[in-house]
């Protein structure tokens, strides 16, 4: 079980967009897709690009890499299209009132 860390207020995450956070040395992108909130690793698995700078597909809840267009599932982190070779990390998210919290790996 990990440790929960507050990263932002819900309204600080753009609707159908993402925002980057560095927490304990981890680059994490937090996204609002409709009413759902997700957190994944913010760096594309293909080449260094920040995923939160890409576009979010509200219908499919995916984010496209701004550099080469690889698409990632926000729920699973799965790479859905080339050139991304592998998934990015996924972090559990919860709301504590209006605060968005992300679970970091490790003991807590």
Which CATH number characterizes residue 58's domain? Answer: 2.102.10.10
Q: How far apart are the first and last CA of the chain?
A: 6
Residue 7 pLDDT class (50, 70, 90 cuts): very high
Q: Is the pLDDT score of 108 beyond 60?
A: no
Average pLDDT (89-103) is 98
Q: What is the pTM of this model?
A: 0.94
| Residue 8, domain member (yes or no) | yes
| Residue 108, domain member (yes or no) | no
- Could you give the number of structural domains in the chain? 1
Residue range of the domain that includes 85: 3-103
pLDDT for res 25: 95
| Residue 80, domain member (yes or no) | yes
Q: What is the pLDDT of residues 15-72, one digit of tens each?
A: 999 999 999 999 999 999 999 999 999 999 999 999 999 999 999 999 999 999 999 9
For residue 59, give every residue at least 6 positions away whose Cβ sits within 8 Å of its Cβ, in sequence order, or none. Answer: none
pLDDT for res 51: 98
Which position has the token pair 């939160």? Answer: 52
CA distance 39 to 8: 12
| Residue 74, domain member (yes or no) | yes
Q: Is the pLDDT score of 107 beyond 80?
A: no
């Amino acid at each position: 079980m990990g440790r929960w860390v507050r990263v932002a207020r819900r309204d600080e995450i753009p609707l159908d967009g993402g925002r980057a956070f560095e927490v304990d040395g981890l680059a994490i992108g937090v996204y609002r897709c409709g009413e759902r909130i997700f957190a994944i690793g913010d760096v594309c698995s293909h080449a260094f690009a920040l995923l939160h700078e890409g576009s979010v597909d509200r219908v499919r809840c995916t984010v496209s890499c701004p550099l080469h267009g690889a698409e990632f599932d926000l729920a699973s982190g799965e790479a859905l299209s080339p050139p991304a070779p592998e998934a990015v990390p996924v972090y559990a998210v919860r709301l504590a009132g209006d605060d968005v919290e992300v679970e970091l790996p490790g003991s807590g």
